[in-house]
A and B are shown apart, each in its own frame.
Chain A
């Protein structure tokens, strides 16, 4: 009998068996603590002509991933960590799409990107083939969410809302100043973002009693804005409106100042270069310039804390940082509620999200056709080397100076 037992349970078999038993019963916490990470593709233009913006987005995104993981990961998934796969669109549409394909092979549960509207449009369409959720962190074109794609979600406002709110704010500012502005010239970059914004502005300006005299498009990059400044001077508008990426925004602003273009105000919608660096390094050029853009909620303690952390790294707290950060948090919230990285469940969780975007001055999140209805831009003005919020009133830190004093 003993021999039989010996034969049935050998020493080697006993060790293996007890190890397995101990493994499954005695140390369940260890096994449970290592669920597969949730892979998230972050596609941004970290090289190419908008590399700075892409790097800022990546900074915000990686900080958010770090924060989610430090806080215990996705709890409903056993504490699964988020693993960010970082992709570079090189500021090119085809490369952005190639990154989507590559990351799909690596098994991503969702994508976040892409800063430029054309890249976002093409990349999210590529992701739609695999039914993978795509969160647009930055990308202004409303075409992104108007194609009926179920996998696309945008937390921020598109250029339609920015134009509507911007026009309403400009109307109020102009009215308060006695309606001094009656004409405008719009200078915009020639891509989807700038052209789309400019056309919307042109259509809406008459509703506040301002006529758009001309739309002037320019390429990226543009070496010299002297001609545009001269054309504007020859038309003598009351307001110059701008929609451009960072470098061209800054160069145009500097040229208008150097060419002594005297108008009642400069008013940009999604002005890519309107940030702390611009107003601090060029206080004379930027003084009194106004911009309708994404802005953090200055009354949010979380936003202020993140601002300090970002600035401690030597970086600027630009909209790319807090928008991508917020999108990672939106995704983490959806994963938590879905309890799974399954694409269909995750898409459902995003579509029904009521995520509270704490960093932003937004209302409650509600996606309709992928666009968050609670998203709102703010209107800022450069005053004495700093940026002040002038609208909406509940977040305003200063009153608008309009018309601006003559040069």
Chain B
């Protein structure tokens, strides 16, 4: 029987891990909500952002957290341009084409990264990597606490932007009724590109928060994609709040599953949630019926 203090420590660590999952999942759900496609290039673009953070640190000495505004903005521009020049242009207005294009993009991006960066594992060793906050039996690594807090702040900012700004309202309008939004004068194609850009910007921020505790290789982004898909399904496809809450639920489930069932069997919890949601509430916790 596990010591209750260890269980509490596990839950706290799960919450911290959930903070990063939220950011990756929010980007995914935003793209789904507006474009109605699963972005198969999500993991690959997260990996590219992680390399951007790594090289900024390696070449210029920029701390990953200091790099956050720059990488997030850069990721937005990259996502916007990618949509305008590649995804939007070659999809010819058909959603299923977008799906295939993002799948193709994922393969191309992974292999370009392998060509230019090699398969070597790259890490960032920040001076505060070994610092932690002691909370009972829990040793909470400082970088993970920072990631968690930053992730929450970014989610709130994004939520406010979506609720209050004109662009945010336009995004929500396009997500709800594409044709109607076009009729009232919203540039739908531009909103698609902006939404895709914001989704990728979330990945840019996640990359900055991940790198002090994780590593990057050309395949490392994919480690977060399956869990992000599960969160999106759990929270409700396209639901912003759902992704945020789902991220924490999955983080804690993963932690407790790992503690009680072992690291391998512990992952069953995530798959179980995925299956149960699909069986009993396919719209997810906060999703609306199509």
Docked-complex contact A227 and B255, CB < 8 angstroms: yes
Q: Which residues of A contact B91 (CB under 8 A)?
A: none
| Interchain CB contact under 8 A, B130 and A226 | no
Name, among A224, A260, A273, the residue most crowded by chain B CB atoms within 10 Å (CB to CB).
Answer: A224
- Do residues B132 and A260 form an inter-chain contact, with CB atoms below 8 A? yes
Work out how many contacts link A and B, with CB atoms closer than 8 A. Answer: 113
**Interface range on chain B (Cβ under 8 Å from partner):** 35 or more
Are B121 and A246 closer than 8 Å at their CB atoms?
A: yes
Scan A197-232; emit 1 where CB is below 8 A from any B CB, else 0.
Answer: 000000000000000000011110111101110110
Within 8 Å CB of A230, what residues of B?
A: 6, 9-10, 13, 259
C-alpha gap A231/B7 in the complex (Å): 10
Specify the chain A residue showing the minimal Cβ separation from B3: A234
Shortest distance from the beta carbon of B177 to any chain A beta carbon, whole Å: 37
Known: A231-B259, A259-B141, A281-B123. A226 touches B217 (CB 8 A): no
- Write the nearest CB–CB distance from A168 to chain B, whole angstroms: 29
The interface residues of chain B lying within 8 Å CB-to-CB of A369 are none
Interface residue ranges of B107-131 to A (CB < 8 Å): 110-111, 114, 118-121, 123, 125, 129-130
Contact between B2 and A223, CB atoms less than 8 A apart: no
Which of A217, A246, A282 contacts B263 (CB under 8 A)? A217
With beta carbons under 8 angstroms apart, the residue of B6, B130, B215 that contacts A251 is B215
Q: Is B165 among interface residues, defined by CB-CB distance under 8 A?
A: no
User: A258 near B129 (CB under 8 angstroms)?
Assistant: yes
Q: Is A271 among interface residues, defined by CB-CB distance under 8 A?
A: no
Contacts of B220 in A (CB 8 A): 221, 247
Query: What CA separation (Å) do A48 and B222 show in the bound complex?
Result: 11
B:1-49 near A, CB below 8 Å: 2-3, 6, 9-10, 13-14, 17
Per-position binary interface string of chain A over residues 27-59, scored 1 when its CB falls under 8 Å from any chain B CB and 0 otherwise = 000000000000000000011111111110000
Return the chain B residue nearest A91 by Cβ.
Answer: B219
Q: Which residue of B lies closest to A261 (CB)?
A: B139
Write the chain B residue with the least CB distance to A226: B13
Does A223 contact B224, Cβ atoms closer than 8 Å?
Answer: yes
The reply to whether A227 and B130 contact each other, CB–CB distance below 8 Å, is no
Whether B121 contacts A52 by the Cβ 8 Å rule is yes
Contact A234 B2 (CB under 8 A): yes
Q: How far is the CA of A284 from the CA of B258 in the complex (A)?
A: 27
Given contacts A51-B218, A226-B13, contact A190 B121 (CB under 8 A): no
The verdict on A254 contacting chain B, using a C-beta distance below 8 Å, is yes
Please give, as numbers and ranges, the residues of chain B lying within 8 Å of A247 by CB-CB distance.
121, 215, 217, 220
Docked CA distance A228–B262 (Å) = 8
Q: Specify which chain A residues have a CB less than 8 angstroms from the CB of B264 in the assembled complex.
A: 190, 217-219
| Pairwise interchain contact B266-A51, C-beta atoms closer than 8 A | no
User: With a CB–CB cut-off of 8 A, which chain B residues contact A254?
Assistant: 123, 129, 213
Query: Cβ of A233 < 8 Å from any Cβ of B?
Result: yes
On whether the beta carbons of A257 and B130 are closer than 8 Å, the reply is: yes
Which residue of B is nearest A258, CB measured? B141
For B266, the chain A residues whose CB sits under 8 A away are: 227
Cβ proximity bits B135-169 to A, threshold 8 Å, 1 near / 0 not: 00101010000000000000000000000000000
- Inter-chain contacts of A234 with B (CB < 8 A): 2-3, 6
For B119, the chain A residues whose CB sits under 8 A away are 46-47, 50-55
How far is B227's CA from A394's CA once the two chains are assembled, in angstroms? 49
User: With A218-B263, A246-B121 in contact, is A48–B13 under 8 Å at CB?
Assistant: no
Shortest distance between the CB of B19 and any CB in chain A (Å): 12
A262, chain B: closest CB distance, angstroms: 11
Q: What's the nearest-Cβ distance from chain B to residue A139, in Å? A: 18
| Chain A window 299-341, contacts with chain B (Cβ cutoff 8 Å), 1 for yes, 0 for no | 0000000000000000000000000000000000000000000
In the complex the two chains form, is A226's CB within 8 Å of B17's CB? yes
* Contact of A161 with B by CB under 8 A: no
Chain B 258-270: CB-based contact to A (< 8 A → 1; otherwise 0): 1100111011000
Q: How many angstroms from the CA of A47 to the CA of B137 in the assembled complex?
A: 41
- A250 at interface (Cβ–Cβ under 8 A)? yes
- Is the pair B217, A228 in contact by a Cβ cutoff of 8 Å? no
Closest CB of chain B to A84's CB: distance in Å?
Answer: 19
Closest to A190 in B: B264
Q: A217-B263, A227-B259 are in contact. Are A51 and B17 (CB under 8 A)?
A: no
Question: A52 vs B254: C-alpha distance in the bound complex, in angstroms?
Answer: 29
Residues of B within 8 A of A259 (CB): 132, 139, 141
Complex alpha-carbon distance, A285 and B215, angstroms: 14
Q: List 8 A-B contacts (CB under 8 A).
A: A47-B110, A217-B263, A227-B266, A230-B6, A250-B123, A251-B215, A258-B130, A259-B139
What 9 A-B pairs are tightest by C-beta distance, nearest first? A51-B119, A227-B258, A52-B119, A226-B13, A258-B141, A218-B263, A234-B6, A221-B223, A52-B120
Could you list 17 further interchain pairs (A-B, Cβ under 8 angstroms) beyond the known A221-B222, A223-B17, A258-B130?
Answer: A47-B110, A47-B114, A50-B119, A52-B121, A55-B119, A216-B262, A217-B262, A217-B264, A226-B13, A226-B14, A227-B13, A230-B13, A233-B6, A247-B215, A258-B213, A281-B123, A281-B125
